[in-house]
């Protein structure tokens, strides 16, 4: 293929070359058009909008940096930033180690059928709509009639928690539900990566007399580094965009007791679409949040040494 492309390059002034080029452009045109409208133009329009006092369909007036000033001095915005990072950090710390351990146990099971049945079972929650999950857990965590406090009672643990109304428990609750939703997915990803590790590595380790723990730390963990990087980076980007769960988990779009679960995207939606339709301000928040996520992702990729190796 490389050859033929090189051959064509020689004949740039050939009529045929430009005919091919035209076919090329028209084939990628539908996708590029969508990308242009729904990505580039949207971002650019958001930038334009963020300097205006747009409300709903009314484009408003140019107001300079007023929206950005308001964003950066808004206590709700900063609370949302803090909550979002607490949530993302909490998710990474809880989900990834557990998923890793479950994956190693699952992968060491001798029966392939049992292995794939369990893998499917753990995979199910990731298929389900977050809206449904949020409503389900709202019912399960109901202080009087939910099953969670009943289970705590069975285990002789204190069972007077009111997860839905206690603002101290809002973030833990979000992290718990997210744990349920995503750990299985990470585990399945890890298992499919574990199966690509060359088994001869383990055999030679066995011959050298390395124990189970040592093999795990010296072979499995280093070989899993790319998978770990991928899971950490993607789930952090996902976590920073938390919206559906917190929107539906608490009734009437309250984002937790006293807004204790407000997140960055929820703040955009709340300002732009719920009561006053302040689209200009929402666009400004959107650009600030975009920068926060962008910089955070760059730092993460750097920390994992992305770009330094051949990738």
Stretch 58-117 residues interacting with another protein (CB under 8 A): 102, 105-106, 108-114, 116-117
Residue 130, interface with another protein (CB under 8 A)? yes
Minimum distance from CB of 28 to another protein (Å)?
A: 4
Residues 174-203 touching another protein, rule: CB under 8 A, are 180, 184-185, 188-189, 192-193
Minimum distance from CB of 262 to another protein (Å)?
A: 15
Distance from C-alpha of 3 to C-alpha of 150, rounded to nearest angstrom: 69
Q: What letter does residue 220 receive in the DSSP assignment? A: I
Q: In the set 74, 215, 297, 300, which binds another protein (CB under 8 A)?
A: 297
Q: What letter does residue 52 receive in the DSSP assignment? A: B
Pick between residue 109 and residue 168 the one whose CB is nearest to another protein.
109
Q: In the set 129, 167, 168, 276, which binds another protein (CB under 8 A)?
A: 129
Instruction: Name the packing angle between helices 279-303 and 225-240 (round to 10°).
Output: 160
Minimum distance from CB of 182 to another protein (Å)?
A: 12
Residues 267-286 touching another protein, rule: CB under 8 A, are 268-269, 272-273, 279-280, 282-283, 286
Minimum distance from CB of 286 to another protein (Å)?
A: 4
Residue 141, interface with another protein (CB under 8 A)? no
Question: Are the CB atoms for 240 and 234 separated by under 8 Å?
Answer: no
The sign of the dihedral angle between the CA atoms of 294, 97, 224, 115 is: negative
Residue 10, interface with another protein (CB under 8 A)? no
Long-range CB pairs of 103-109 (<8 Å, 24+ gap) are 103/186, 103/187, 103/188, 103/190, 103/191, 103/194, 104/190, 104/194, 104/216, 104/220, 106/187, 106/191, 107/191, 107/194, 107/195
The pair phi, psi for residue 73, each rounded to 5°, is -105, 5
- Count CB atoms within 10 A of the CB of residue 43: 13
Residues 28-47 touching another protein, rule: CB under 8 A, are 28, 30-32, 34-35, 37-39, 41-43, 45-46
CA 173 to centroid of chain Cα atoms: 17
Pick between residue 127 and residue 207 the one whose CB is nearest to another protein.
127
Residues 209-268 touching another protein, rule: CB under 8 A, are 230, 237, 240-241, 243-244, 248, 251-252, 264-265, 268
């Amino acid at each position: 293929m490389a050859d033929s492309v090189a051959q064509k390059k020689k004949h740039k002034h050939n009529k045929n070359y430009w005919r091919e080029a035209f076919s090329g452009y028209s084939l990628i045109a539908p996708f590029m058009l969508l990308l242009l409208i729904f990505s580039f133009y949207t971002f650019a329009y958001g930038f334009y909008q963020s300097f205006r006092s747009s409300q709903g369909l009314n484009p408003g007036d140019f107001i300079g940096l007023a929206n950005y000033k308001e964003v950066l001095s808004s206590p709700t915005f900063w609370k949302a930033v803090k909550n979002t990072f607490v949530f993302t950090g909490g998710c990474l710390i809880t989900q990834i180690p557990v998923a890793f351990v479950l994956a190693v146990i699952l992968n060491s099971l001798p029966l392939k059928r049992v292995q794939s049945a369990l893998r499917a079972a753990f995979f199910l929650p990731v298929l389900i709509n977050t809206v449904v999950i949020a409503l389900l857990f709202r019912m399960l965590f109901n202080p009087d009639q939910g099953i969670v406090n009943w289970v705590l009672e069975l285990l002789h643990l204190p069972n007077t928690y009111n997860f839905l109304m206690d603002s101290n428990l809002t973030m833990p609750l979000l992290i718990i539900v997210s744990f349920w939703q995503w750990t299985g997915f990470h585990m399945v990803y890890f298992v499919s990566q574990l199966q690509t590790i060359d088994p001869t590595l383990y055999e030679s380790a066995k011959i050298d007399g390395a124990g189970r723990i040592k093999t795990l730390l010296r072979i499995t963990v280093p070989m899993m580094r790319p998978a770990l990087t991928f899971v950490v980076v993607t789930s952090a980007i996902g976590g920073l965009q938390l919206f559906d769960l917190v929107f539906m988990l608490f009734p009437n779009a309250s984002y937790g007791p006293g807004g204790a679960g407000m997140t960055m995207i929820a703040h955009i939606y709340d300002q732009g679409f719920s009561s006053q339709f302040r689209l200009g301000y929402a666009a400004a928040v959107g650009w600030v949040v975009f920068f926060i996520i962008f910089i955070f992702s760059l730092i993460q990729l750097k920390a994992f040494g992305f770009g330094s190796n051949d990738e």
